[in-house]
Amino acid sequence: MNRIPTLIKDSQRLPELCPHDRASQPMEPTGILVNDIHSQLNETLVNRVACSDSVQMIQAVIEQAKAECRAISIAGGRHAMGGQQFGADTILLDTGAMNRVLNFDRREGLIEVQAGIRWPELLSYLDRVQVGRWPQWGIRQKQTGADRLSIGGALSANAHGRGLRFKPMIDDVESFTLVDADFRLWTCSRRENHELFRLAIGGYGLFGVIVDVKLRLVPRQKVQRVVRIIDLQDLIPAVEQRVSDGFLYGDFQFSIDSESDDFLRTGVFSCYQPIEEAEMPKRQKELHPDDWRRLLYLAHKDKKRAFHAYSTYYLSTDGQRYWSDSHQLSEYVDHYHEGLNGQLGPSGIGTEMITEIYVPRTSLVQFMEDVRGDLREARANLIYGTIRFIEEDDESFLAWAKERYACIIFNLHTAHTREALERTAEDFRRLIDRAIQYGGSYYLTYHRWATRKQVEVCYPQFVEFLKLKNKYDPEERFQSEWYRHYKAMFADAL
């Protein structure tokens, strides 16, 4: 491997608590309770939280952890829901303060950022420094369900957006720098330390701390939204048509009303087509946090009205113009369910859990038909559902996009009682079984409810992944609840 030696200065002190953790400090003196943002189902007592804004501070944290024989977990935006960013009794390294742009190569369209930077910060930087210049660069893709996610988190899950013909994030990464368990720095790319490059992208923080990332940008374009209400069985031909017509982005938001014949069949098909010389409007229709809160309320209380309101709104935006990067931003109201709990009453208390299922495009209609029956039978409470599209990832080690899949996202409401959680976990396992039936798979980032058999079928390289984790980090300095779960699951094979 290609080593770049670095020194840690004596004067470097250990980083302090992050303000939001300090604010929510329990009286408990022995740890700090942390949790994920969306599901709130990963409450973990970490030993302490270290906020670092430089490579040197991160190295100091790792050195200190080593001296204490303590493991480290790494968090960006805290949106993963399988416990990947937290570990009981670990030092939680919060990367939120590592949010600077380090270099922007305007000629080549490459940008180097610290890994804790979140999408809105990156987009607003690009906006600011390119005012009045043409052509401009923008990001190609980001997650579309929320914005305050870090680039380090996006790499670690090998995330994707709503591109109609893109591979996952790994395809947008030129290189990154990783600090390992012995606080050494590694440059990882397709040319240097390639194995580590393939492992850390989609490797959920288990190989070290990604400190900076060089991303490849794409020319920023004007795009026009084209919205149609269509039937699921017309979706795949419609997508292929859009792709051949040059559309770049798109998705299909399907009906969530299990009592209607439209359930999982009818959807809002919104796509984005590049346009040339159009004036960009100063103002146009958009959903504000209060609109989202209302839609979320309806999705819990009156699904028919929710889908009607959502589709009517979307149809009314047909023809609106956007920028190819910023149209991917979407409002996410942190802790929205706390507000809903009061409105919905006792039966509505809980949160949502997401799962993302992959099936070959040719099996999409039949898969959804089966799932219609399954979700109705289980009386699952579907809050939203989307279908997106992905090209095969032939690079990352733990690749989820094993082929040109349709990606189906189900966001289910769950109460937090033991019985309700077991029912939701069972609903998710049934969805995975349906995917497997059609040669598909599922996304590891959203939960760790899959059975060993399901993991083995969908990720046959998982044991090898854990062995490589051991090769690069034999003292298991980087750990999480997610890692501990799979280490225990596959203990006999390791």
Ligand X SMILES: Cc1cc2nc3c(=O)[nH]c(=O)nc-3n(C[C@H](O)[C@H](O)[C@H](O)COP(=O)(O)OP(=O)(O)OC[C@H]3O[C@@H](n4cnc5c(N)ncnc54)[C@H](O)[C@@H]3O)c2cc1C
Q: Stretches 152-160, 240-248, 290-298, 460-468: which one binds ligand X (CB under 6 A)?
A: 152-160
Binding residues for ligand X restricted to 303-332, rule: CB under 6 A: 332
Angle, helices 462-472/481-489, rounded to nearest 10 degrees: 120
Nearer to ligand X, 84 or 454 (CB): 84
The conformation of residue 141, written as its DSSP 8-state character, comes to: -
Write out the binding residues for ligand X, residues 362-391 only, by CB under 6 A: none
The β-bridge relationship of strands 91-94 and 72-75 is parallel
Residue whose CB is less far from ligand X, 115 or 306: 115
Minimal distance in Å, beta carbon 388 to ligand X?
Answer: 8
Nearer to ligand X, 77 or 138 (CB): 77
Q: Which of 157, 181, 256, 364 binds ligand X (CB under 6 A)?
A: 157
Q: Which is nearer to ligand X, 255 or 386 (CB)?
A: 386
In degrees, rounded to 5, the angle at the alpha carbon of residue 73 between the alpha carbons of residues 81 and 397 is 70
Site map 3..42 versus ligand X, x via CB under 6 A:
-----------------------------------x----
156 binds ligand X (CB under 6 A): yes
- List 145, 202, 267, 440, residue binding ligand X (CB under 6 A): 145
Q: Is 87 in the site for ligand X (CB under 6 A)?
A: no
Nearest to 399 by CA among 202, 129, 155: 202
Q: Letter for the amino acid at 267?
A: G
Q: How far is the CB of 89 from ligand X (least distance, A)?
A: 16
Which residue is associated with the tokens 């210049």?
Answer: 133
Residue (136 or 167) nearer to ligand X, CB: 167
The DSSP element (H or E) to which 413 belongs, if any, is strand 405-414
- The one-letter amino acid code at 222 reads K
Does residue 445 touch ligand X according to CB under 6 A? yes
Type and span of the H or E element at 33? strand 32-34
| Binding residue for ligand X, selected from 47, 84, 221, 479, defined by CB under 6 A | 84
Sign of CA dihedral 136, 139, 141, 147: negative
Interface with ligand X (CB under 6 A), residue total 32
Taking the complex as a whole, the smallest distance from the CB of residue 424 to ligand X amounts, in Å, to 15
Query: With CB under 6 A as the contact rule, which of the stretches 202-210, 266-274, 290-298, 423-431 interacts with ligand X?
Result: 202-210
Shortest gap between Cβ of 153 and ligand X (angstroms)? 2
Q: Is 3 exposed, middle or buried (0-12, 13-18, 19+ CB in 10 A)?
A: exposed
For residues 252 and 270, give the distance between their C-alpha atoms in angstroms, rounded to a whole number: 7
The 8 Å CB, 24+ separation contacts for 290-293 are: 292/331, 292/333, 292/336, 293/333, 293/336, 293/339, 293/340
> Is there binding between residue 74 and ligand X (CB under 6 A)?
yes
- Choices 185-193, 201-209, 301-309, 334-342 (CB under 6 A): range interacting with ligand X: 201-209
List beta partners, residue 357: 408, 442
Angle at 271 between CA 269 and CA 276, to 5 degrees: 155
What does DSSP assign to residue 408?
A: E
Residue 190 and residue 305: Cα distance in Å, rounded?
49
42, 47, 59, 95: which one binds ligand X (CB under 6 A): 95
Which one of 44, 59, 144, 381 is in contact with ligand X (CB under 6 A)?
Answer: 144
Q: Which is nearer to ligand X, 150 or 381 (CB)?
A: 150
Residue 237 CB, nearest approach to ligand X (Å): 24
Segment near ligand X (CB under 6 A), from 68-76, 284-292, 302-310, 448-456? 68-76
Q: Which is nearer to ligand X, 189 or 233 (CB)?
A: 189
Q: How far apart are CA 8 and CA 172, in angstroms?
A: 31
Q: Is 412 in the site for ligand X (CB under 6 A)?
A: no
Closest distance of CB 162 from ligand X, Å: 7
Applying CB under 6 A, does 85 fall inside the site for ligand X? yes
Of the pair 136, 161, the CB lying nearest ligand X is at: 161
Q: Which of 15, 87, 96, 153 binds ligand X (CB under 6 A)?
A: 153
User: Measured from the CB atom, is 49 or 136 closer to ligand X?
Assistant: 49
Could you please report the per-residue DSSP string of 415-467? -SSHHHHHHHHHHHHHHHHHHHHTT-EE-TTS-S---HHHHHHH-TTHHHHHH
Q: Inter-axis angle of helices 418-437 and 364-378, to 10 degrees? A: 160
Locus of tokens 């792709």 = 243
| Nearest to ligand X of 99, 221 (CB atom) | 99
State both tokens at 372.
């219609």
Q: At what angle do helices 289-301 and 303-316 cross, to 10 degrees?
A: 140
Contact between 96 and ligand X by CB under 6 A: the answer reads no
Binding site for ligand X (CB under 6 A): 38, 74-80, 84-85, 95, 115, 143-146, 149-150, 152-154, 156-157, 159-160, 204-205, 209-210, 332, 445, 480
